[in-house]
Structure 1
Amino acid sequence: MYKVLMIEDDAMIGDMVSMYLGEEGFTVMRKENGQDGAEAIYKFAPDIILLDLMLPDMDGLELCRRVRQTSGVPIMIVSMKNKVVERVNALGAGADDYMCKPFSMHEMSARVHALIRRSNTYQKKSDFPAVQSIAVMEVQPKAAVTKKDGDKSIMLNLHTRSMLVRGQIVETTYSEFEIMKCFVNNPGRVFSREDLLQTVRGFDSYVTDRAIDVHIANLRKKIEDNPKEPQRIRTVWGVGYKYM
């Protein structure tokens, strides 16, 4: 049974979502403000978070950023704000999906299932040998990979869905991890935005070309020595991106 944490101060919407998802077998906990929601994340350990942007005590985007610093749990924004810039900002803050109110309960349920299904895909690989759950791409010659200089490789652990950069764990969203996995497994290959869209798009998930650009910008901040002059994730003008 999957657990859903809804951080939403609108009682009507909260009750409707709780009732609908409850009938589908989810265990739903609702908190009406950001502080209570933040505390519930670690006590309740949800499989997904439904987060409103306009909370009575804090900005939902700020809460999203705080959660993403320490957790990879899928986050779906549910908000009245429907401008493209709001959706882009939410994705940039670490959200995995965005729904505008009012919304179809059926569509919301489909997106929740899609995000949880995607997040659990690699957990099922625990029966495989550990060596099969790790994809490694060295971005510097082996001679440069020394303990003194620091680890110059990027390692993706498909079981824990974690990324190691220069020997340090770096948090990623699910979409960022999927994009990075494509890059690491196919160095030098040029991926169009449509290729990457198909990689991260879940069933009925809202993902756009602009969202891909945001994910790429976020990844560059996390893996590049100088994100403004990227050496690893290169732009191929008029086509897309490639990983060196």
Structure 2
Amino acid sequence: MYKVLIIEDDAMIGDMVTMYLSEEGFHVIRKANGAEGITSVSQFDPDVILLDLMLPDMDGLALCRQVRETSKIPIMIVSMKNKVVERVNALGAGADDYMCKPFSMHEMSARVHALIRRSNLYLKSSANTRQVSEKAGGSTTAVLEAVLDIDKKITLNPNTRSMRVHGVLVETTYSEFEIMKCFVNHPGRVYSREDLLQTVRGFDSLVTDRAIDVHIANLRKKIEDSPKEPKWIRTVWGVGYKFVY
């Protein structure tokens, strides 16, 4: 049984979502403020978090960033705020999805299933990588690596789903890691936004290609010396993006 943690101070909405997801077969708990929500992340160990942005004791984006510092649990923001900038800020804080209130319970359930399905694919991929490494003798760690020049490199480790830039560990979201994996494996190839969406979400994605632009902007901040004048992740106008080194 998959577990869902709802961090929502509106009792009516919280109870409705709890009831609906419980009937769908999820184990659901709800916390009414950020402090209790943070505690429950480690105690309850949910498979997905539904997070309201407007909490009585703290900002939802701050809570999202705090969770993302130590966990890769999928996070879906559920908020009354419906401006594009709010969605962009949420993705920048490490959220994986965003729904505006009021919303369809059926769509919300579908998105929760999609987030968990995607998360399970990571775990399966990581497990397969470990098995390959073990069969090879376990003497080396499977690492995807792109050498950018003599002194600089980006290293992706699929075992830990981690990225190092110039040898320094850099935190990434699931989507950011998957995009970088595509780039590193196929330098010079041009990826359309739709290509990258299918890579990070799958064909049943409910998000728009605007999310890809946000992830690219975040990656540029993490790997480029000058994000506004990127040397590695280049925009191919009218098409998409490519990785150059």
Report the secondary structure of 2:5's partner residue.
strand
SS in 2 for 1:122: helix
Give the whole-Å Cα distance in 1 for the aligned partners of 2:160 and 2:16: 33
| 8 Å CA contact retained: 1:70, 1:171 | no
Instruction: Name the SS of the counterpart of 1:73 in structure 2.
Output: coil
Structure 2 CA distance for aligned equivalents of residues 200 and 207 of structure 1 = 11
Give the alignment's Cα RMSD to 1 decimal.
Answer: 2.1
Preserved contact between residue 51 and residue 75 of structure 2 (Cα < 8 Å): yes
* Structure 2 residue identity aligned to 1:138: A
Shift of 1:157: 3.0
Aligned position for 1:154: 154
Q: 1:187 to 1:75 in 2, by over 3 A?
A: same
CA-CA distance at 1:228 after TM superposition: 2.6
Indicate the structure whose relative CO is greater, using CA pairs within 8 Å and at least 6 residues apart.
1
8 A Cα contact 1:114 1:203, kept in partner: no
What is the TM-score when the length of structure 2 is the normalising length? Answer: 0.87
- 2:193 is aligned to 193
1:68 aligns with 2:68: yes
1:134 deviates by: 4.0
Name the counterpart of 2:178.
178
Give the drift of 1:76: 0.2
TM-score (norm 1): 0.88
Matched with 2:132 is 129
- How far has the Cα of 1:232 moved from its partner? 1.4
Q: Say whether 1:48 aligns with 2:51.
A: no
Shift, 1:98, TM fit = 0.7
Q: How many residues align?
A: 236
- Tell me, which stretches of 5 or more residues in structure 2 are unaligned? none
Q: 1:189 Cα deviation (Å)?
A: 0.4
Q: Residue 16 of structure 1 aligns with which residue? A: 16
Which residue pairs with 1:207 in the alignment?
Answer: 207
Unaligned 5+ residue runs, structure 1?
146-151
Contact map agreement 1:135 1:184 (CA 8 A) in 2 = no
Instruction: State percent identity of aligned pairs.
Output: 76
State the shift of 1:67 in Å: 1.6
